[in-house]
A and B are shown apart, each in its own frame.
Chain A
């Protein structure tokens, strides 16, 4: 395949959006209040829409009659290359919002810098997604601050979420030959710049939220190369059910 590195990267980028979108969709009808229920499903749809644009581009590179539905719905578990962070279960609202915040704080600078990509289509995807992502980050960081700097219970739940999720943050900055070659060719931004911006946002918000960032240095990874946690199979069972049961169905 021509442009194989870009294709592989697009799957990594798109799978993060798709799987987190699917996770957020699980809140539909279960949100703590009606307004938040709608907010979370709006964000879910934004992410799935982003995945659609990204997979459209991947399908174009792949050729052979591929399309975004085939890429999203018909791969096996080890072919999904999302980070472990986005597949973690929703648990409580604090857990969902902290997961979202860690992710949004990464996605915003990534898209901002990706707008300068030498690849015009990737730059256009970044520009379009950035507007949505800015709002997602505003929403999730306000909730992290509200809960962290809230009551004893909300603080404890938010802190527990930070303690449990922090080990998955590092994988967002995963790099192998795929990313490295794209960074070299000016198609992806330099990851240390993305990480610096991420770090600033995370530290500022955690500080305001009176939450402690764990210092044990534990990191988990594997999702980027198709090795997932036990949760992934259940997500795909739900996500893929209709396409597997009724192949090529549309609605």
Chain B
């Protein structure tokens, strides 16, 4: 249907957020970005492995399966829309992270371990 680009985008986003199965995606609009997390056979947690584009969650999971698990890398996949990830601001990195650099006492390395203790 003929639409202005902005309208198309709005409609796209609406469907994208509020419909579980969004099929009306065959437009020129670029598909949203998804972050992919894979749990390996030995791993306990899902690890971020990369990102990809897909029109909906189903397609994102299948694309992730095809792109990131073709060499038996995983047994479970999570995909999260990239724009739902809130990230810390790199320009605030000094305020966020540097203060902890000088606080080595936060590491439990100042305790004397008694001789009889095993498994430390």
Contacts and interface: CB of A to CB of B under 8 A. Distances in A.
B91 to A, nearest CB: 32
A199 B109 CA distance: 69
Interface stretch (B37-45, B63-71, B80-88, B100-108): B63-71
A39 B66 contact: yes
A77 to B, nearest CB: 33
B52 interface: yes
A181 B13 CA distance: 57
A154 B26 contact: yes
A184 interface: no
A151 B52 contact: no
A145 B26 CA distance: 11
Contacts of B62: 39, 138-139, 142
B26 A146 contact: yes
Contact of A35 (B1, B23, B26, B54): B54
Interface size class of A (residues with CB under 8 A): 20 to 34
B75 interface: no
Contacts of B27: 151
Interface in A138-154: 138-139, 142, 145-147, 149-154
Given A33-B53, A142-B58, A39 B63 contact: yes
Interface of B: 1, 23-27, 31, 52-55, 58-59, 62-63, 65-67, 70
Interface of A: 33-36, 38-39, 42, 135, 138-139, 142, 145-147, 149-154
